[in-house]
Amino acid sequence: MVEYHDLTIRDGCHAISHKLTADMIKKHCLFVEKSKIPVMEIGHGNGLGASSILIGRAALSDVEMISLAKSYLKNTKLSVHVIPGIATIERDIEPAIKLGVDIFRIASHCTEASITKSHIEYLASKGKTVYGALMMCATCPLDVLVSEVEKIKSYGASAVIIMDSTGSFFPKQVEECFKRLSQIGIKLGFHAHNNMGMAVANSLIAIQNGAEIIDATVHGFGAGAGNTPLEVITTIHPSGDINVLEEIEDLEYKTPITKTINILTAKYKLHSVFEQKILESAQKYKVPLAKLVEELGNRKLVAGQEDLVRVIAAQMSEQL
């Protein structure tokens, strides 16, 4: 049976500049409980410890978000996203353990699984459910991805989430990916973005080829062009007693529109979080949008390097 994880109020925080409110948390928790969603993720779009001037200030602290969610959730498990280098064990993970977080997803760039080792081993030693998550997987050769998943398994994670952070995968690639990865012997999940309109198709192909966890959001609400819509994927491929259609109309998340910038970032395999910086820099420095995205893609920028967008745009403007 496929396990659907609702990431609306984590990935969706990118779409609202991380300004998640207490009322939104309450409403969403009541929704997932009534809809019988097994897992809900919460937090700043970039995970624990990410609220900052550089990445974006959250309206609520991690402790406030987690505490509120736990006060409403009775049956649905709570998960959090963790990026080593942003989140630390002492400052961020230990308080989350004490607050009762059920699942920790430790994420890294798809070629840098080794940075997750200490966090995964620590959480496993505490008896917590811990997953690995590999971001930007469409940028990674399959042989390398296999090796990185094997590393995460060796650290003690009980699952690995394959994240198409750029929305660049096509169904055939997803099929090849999961056929290979399913031979490793660890539970697999898939996190799609909808830049090329393939999120639902890719998620279904992942399921058909061994994925047991599928990330989705209400109306696809998420970074850039958004994610796999929860209401669509659970209708096409039902699982357990999940029924989101009776309660979903009470939620006010706007369905993302696939814009030119989303198609360009998918084409050049850039993370969806670059969208706003690219648009602002292209306008400020009078650089053609497509040329700027192409240059950023050629330089293989990864999430966390958003400030370089402005620098590169300024350099390009001097050459025009």
- What are the pLDDT digits (tens) for 96-150? 999 999 999 999 999 999 999 999 999 999 999 999 999 999 999 999 999 999 9
State whether residue 237 is helix, strand or coil. coil
Q: What is the pLDDT of residues 194-223, one digit of tens each?
A: 999 999 999 999 999 999 999 999 999 999
Q: At what angle do helices 22-35 and 62-72 cross, to 10 degrees?
A: 40
Structural element, H or E, at residue 268: none
Residue 243 has pLDDT above 80, yes or no: yes
pLDDT at residue number 69: 98
Residue 167 has pLDDT above 90, yes or no: yes
Structural element, H or E, at residue 47: none
- What is the dihedral angle through the alpha carbons of 139, 140, 145, 151, rounded to the nearest 10 degrees? -90
Which residue in 15, 21, 24, 86 sits closest to 59, CA to CA?
21
Which residue in 161, 104, 101, 102 sits closest to 137, CA to CA?
161
Q: Are 97 and 63 in contact (CB under 8 A)?
A: no
CATH for 3-250 (3.30.9.10, 3.20.20.70, 3.30.460.80, 3.40.50.970): 3.20.20.70
Q: Are 288 and 296 in contact (CB under 8 A)?
A: no
pLDDT at residue number 159: 98
Percent of residues, the chain, with pLDDT higher than 90: 92
pLDDT at residue number 37: 98
pLDDT at residue number 304: 74
Q: Are 163 and 273 in contact (CB under 8 A)?
A: no
Mean pLDDT calculated for residue range 226-234: 98
State whether residue 235 is helix, strand or coil. helix
The DSSP secondary structure of 183-222, one letter per residue, reads TS-SEEEEE-B-TTS-HHHHHHHHHHTT--EEEEBGGG-S
pLDDT confidence band for 320 (50 / 70 / 90): confident
pLDDT at residue number 6: 98
Each domain of the chain, given as residue ranges in start order, spans 3-250, 260-319
The structure's pTM equals 0.96
Query: Of 5, 14, 28, 119, which residue is the catalytic one?
Result: 14
| Backbone φ and ψ of 129, nearest 5° | -75, 120
Q: Residue 86 has which token pair?
A: 């942003």
Quick check: is 14 catalytic? yes
Percent of residues, the chain, with pLDDT higher than 70: 100
Q: Are 2 and 207 in contact (CB under 8 A)?
A: yes
Q: What is the pLDDT of residues 24-61, one digit of tens each?
A: 999 999 999 999 999 999 999 999 999 998 788 999 99
Q: What is the pLDDT of residues 252-280, one digit of tens each?
A: 899 999 999 999 999 999 998 889 999 99
The Cα 186–Cα 229 span in angstroms is 26
CATH topology for 260-319? Helicase, Ruva Protein; domain 3 (1.10.8)
